[in-house]
Amino acid sequence: MTESERTVVVALGGNAISPADDEGDIPQQFETTRQTAVHLVDLVERGLHLLITHGNGPQVGNALRRVELAAHEVYRLPLDICVADTQGGMGYMIAQCLNNELRRRGLPQRASALVTAVEVDLADPAFQDPTKPIGGHYSPQQAEQMQRRYGWKMVAQPANGTLRRVVPSPLPKAIVEIGLIRRLAEAGELLVAGGGGGVPVIRNEDGDYVGVEAVIDKDRTSALLASAIGARLFVSATSVRKVMLNFGTPDQRPIDEMTVSQARQHLAAGQFPPGSMGPKIEAALDYLERVADPAARALICDLDRLGEAVAGRDGTWIRPD
């Protein structure tokens, strides 16, 4: 088996770190991550080389809330620094849990976390039309204050009459540290990278990198990473066993496998909404088109059944035409 055949990029969904029905404080995140590490080390034990990515939505939201609450005491932190801070902290947590599980099993591998920056384009339409909600909920009076003070764009939340800040979510163009990541992946290192979609940066007029107030979709960055290192398998580990057609209706049915063309047809027909399965399908298609390898596969599966799915016995598989 070649290095590319051994290399698997696993994009962890929110359920891999933050428990769904709890506050999600640090002890709870560690406990959930320890359970996740068991599933990941199962793959390592089978001889696979993992590059692990993860989301950070709740964590960034909490970081921003701390910034707001402490604004009268200490200086504020911009969004790109909050993304970098949570990326580092969560990478530390995931790597520690992986290393403890590896040690328990007597495996020699060790995990490392890499804070990753991702270049975006200031000409991306997302910067003209911010749509990604972040942070807490505000009353109309509080939202007006935030708009005046910081120039935030706020949108109404009809369900409860509050407002939330929205920021751009541009497409990732390039991963700044890709050379290092590629070398580590080729050496078979166990890596945590690209957390939260990466720290968004642009090139200024002098060619320097500069952080921007934006967030990048984690699945999109994961797909870019997977194609850039030539991984044969890209996995979105989430909380559902299979992708569904007609989801939430009496006619819903699971999909075991589909081609890129079939996935595109279902996506165009509205089967995979933007707020749920849509981004994962789009990321899978992006990966398969970028990697241009007829043997490449994308897999969407339940984290708790990760081993079964990677073995071909569960999940939804997407393959080139």
CB-based contact 185:105 (threshold 8 Å): no
Instruction: Name the active-site residue from 132, 153, 173, 188.
Output: 132
Q: Is 242 a catalytic residue?
A: no
Helix (H) or strand (E) holding 300: strand 297-302
| Cross-strand pairs, 202 | 210
Q: Kindly provide the residue ranges of all beta strands, DSSP E only, lying in 82-182, ordered along the sequence.
A: 111-114, 117-119, 132-138, 153-157, 162-167, 174-175
Q: Among residues 61, 198, 218, 315, which one is catalytic? A: 218
Q: At what angle do helices 57-69 and 79-104 cross, to 10 degrees?
A: 130
Cβ partners under 8 Å of residue 220, min gap 6: 171, 172, 197, 279, 282, 283, 286
Residue 112 token pair: 């490392």
Is 173 catalytic? The answer is: no
Long-range Cβ contacts of 179-182 (<8 Å, 24+ apart):
180/114, 181/51, 181/114, 181/116, 181/225, 181/228, 181/229, 182/228, 182/229
Confirm whether 218 is a catalytic residue. yes
Q: Give how far Cα 50 sits from Cα of 7, 47, 97, 197, 216, Å.
A: 6, 10, 15, 17, 22
Number of neighbouring beta carbons within 10 Å of residue 272: 20
Catalytic residue among 13, 15, 61, 135: 15
Distance CA 51, CA 47 (A): 13
- 14, 55, 135, 230: which one is catalytic? 14
| Separation between Cα atoms, residue 182 and residue 190, nearest integer Å | 12
What does the buried/exposed string (b/e) look like for 114-145 if buried means 16 or more CB atoms within 10 Å of the residue's CB? Answer: bbbbbbbeeebebbeebebbbbeebeeeebee
Q: Which residue of the set 91, 230, 280, 315 is catalytic? A: 280
What is the set of active-site residues? 14-15, 132, 218, 280
